[in-house]
Chains A and B, each alone.
Chain A
């Protein structure tokens, strides 16, 4: 197969996958939901009716302390008179930032390790598979908090490194399985016969053909990462006040649930559910759309 034929073949497969994806209503819903979150994050300063940090009680008095949803504040205000809707829009930035950076860390660790294990087999595979099983055995959430807690004042980068430190195993497993099934195929043998170095065979020839399930796995992981970040912030180990992190908002608001001030904790939870749902639909849709390719 020469280079141009290969390219058009890949383009045709991509087009087919896109057609299948577009026909899948849940997948398209996921795509639009994810885009809406990305837009909210990108244009938060423009879209938000108030400054997310501004404590309106200083200018407008006690009336805006824990005010219920109204025309002026569609999701109500918190104890300091901050507009919850504005804080939720800004919170999208934090969730997406963690989701994306932790996923990049996971890909940077998981893909090379999975590729090496699958391609070389033997001792390399045994060693890497052992590492995967060790990490997999950790209680993920507890382990991440423990790693974050090691640092006195964890920055956001510590948090996504800690999440990436465990999240790579799923990606490594998928990559490894793909490499095992692809390494004996004719085009790989051809590349080997041409005397290409391993690095070029792995990254130039096998990886492009192994990417689809890796992308699916990474997309499905984003929702889980956003949920972990929310849980960390909820327990006080993630973003620190006054950051408008969704998990932190739920944590602050939970104390006022008992006195009927439900909006502070309920709306941020809806935002998390919406975002995680978006990436789950998107991941499911991508898997179904790319399935024909996965089965080949």
Chain B
């Protein structure tokens, strides 16, 4: 177990290095001269030169790269072009809102997805099965921002049951629609996977054995079947957490939710490259870290998986 963990961690390092380097190339080298981006056509040569010196852009590329990596290692993601705010501070301030949104979306998606998946499998080819799976396919195919707008149209503007966009000082009433919006896709994916895993498991011999022992159907399904169907379901829940954290970009934009996703979009609109770089790196690292945790958790769910 220890060597497996260590090996996973060692494997993590070159991938992190690759991510950071790709971001440096695509978002530092390719965009060209940020001094000009900052000043537009207004900049006179002296001002441009001063900005370049301030940002370290007068250094050769390899020196800039070393500086970039060095800053990153100290947790310094640079300073926003727009308002001189530290990128790391801005992300830290906004991450709470994203985490809150993603957490509840994942709870909702797991509960609904697993419940619908089990019921669909148990009542295969029933009306419930067909409608649940139809909704699941539609849920994967509808664009998330459009689902959000439909929910706003129906529940906020039409029925006036819930408030519209905004954070509402953390009131839970403002949380409901964004959570449903963000949770739809993972709920659909989890429901489909749970159903197919349950169907696989229910055809196994030991389920027949359990039934022929005279166990209650409820026990057979929940204790014998579901426990074994849980391994792949656990995997997809883990990867979905990773996707949700970085995938909240559109949901946060529609609902004016003050999270990291919206921070990134604001930075993109303003062409604030240090902030763009910072949010992309932050989300990529978060994605990698979450996936690493999911990998390591396999052994806890399925003791058959050997760490060799």
Q: What residues make up the interface of A, taking CB atoms closer than 8 Å to B?
A: 130-131, 133-135, 137-139, 141-143, 145-147, 149-150, 223, 227, 230-231, 234-237, 247, 250, 254, 257-258, 260, 262, 265-266, 269, 272-273, 276-277, 280-281
Contact = CB atoms under 8 A, between A and B. Distances in A.
Given A142-B283, A277-B138, 11 more contacts: A139-B287, A142-B261, A231-B144, A235-B250, A250-B145, A269-B143, A272-B142, A276-B142, A276-B143, A277-B137, A280-B140
A280 B141 contact: yes
Contacts of A258: 157, 164
Interface stretch (B13-21, B106-114, B201-209): B13-21
B246 interface: yes
A231 B143 contact: yes
B284 A139 contact: yes
A141 B250 contact: yes
A150 B279 contact: no
B288 to A, nearest CB: 5
Contacts of B159: none
A231 B148 CA distance: 13
Nearest to A276: B141
Interface stretch (B1-9, B24-32, B73-81, B118-126): B24-32
A266 B142 CA distance: 11
B81 to A, nearest CB: 13
Contact of B143 (A146, A149, A230): A230
27 contacts: A130-B15, A131-B18, A134-B15, A134-B18, A138-B19, A138-B280, A139-B246, A139-B249, A141-B246, A142-B280, A143-B280, A146-B268, A149-B271, A230-B143, A230-B145, A231-B145, A235-B250, A237-B268, A265-B146, A265-B149, A269-B143, A276-B142, A277-B141, A280-B137, A280-B140, A280-B141, A281-B137
Contact of B27 (A130, A150, A235, A277): A150
Q: Please list the 8 inter-chain residue pairs (A to B) with the smallest Cβ-Cβ separation, ordered nearest first.
A: A139-B246, A134-B18, A269-B146, A276-B141, A277-B141, A139-B283, A273-B142, A150-B31
A273 B143 contact: yes
B149 A250 contact: yes
Contacts, number: 116
Contacts of B215: none
Majority SS at the chain B contact face: helix
A223 B269 CA distance: 26
Nearest to B250: A231
B276 interface: yes
A20 to B, nearest CB: 18
B280 A139 contact: yes
B153 A257 contact: yes
A145 B14 contact: no
A211 to B, nearest CB: 25
A107 to B, nearest CB: 21
Contacts of A266: 150, 153
Interface string B153-191: 100010000001000000000000000000000000000
Nearest to A131: B18
A141 to B, nearest CB: 6
B247 A133 contact: no
Nearest to A259: B157
B132 interface: no
A137 B284 contact: yes
Given A250-B145, A257-B152, A133 B15 contact: yes
A150 B26 CA distance: 8
A32 to B, nearest CB: 16
A147 B124 CA distance: 45
B265 interface: yes
B14 A130 contact: yes
Contacts of B149: 250, 254, 257, 265, 269
B264 interface: yes
A236 B18 CA distance: 29
Contacts of B141: 223, 273, 276-277, 280
B140 A236 contact: no
A189 to B, nearest CB: 30
A273 B268 contact: no
A231 B265 CA distance: 12
A69 to B, nearest CB: 15
A251 to B, nearest CB: 8
B39 interface: no
B194 interface: no
Contact of B18 (A130, A223, A247): A130
B279 A137 contact: no
B22 to A, nearest CB: 6
A137 B247 contact: no
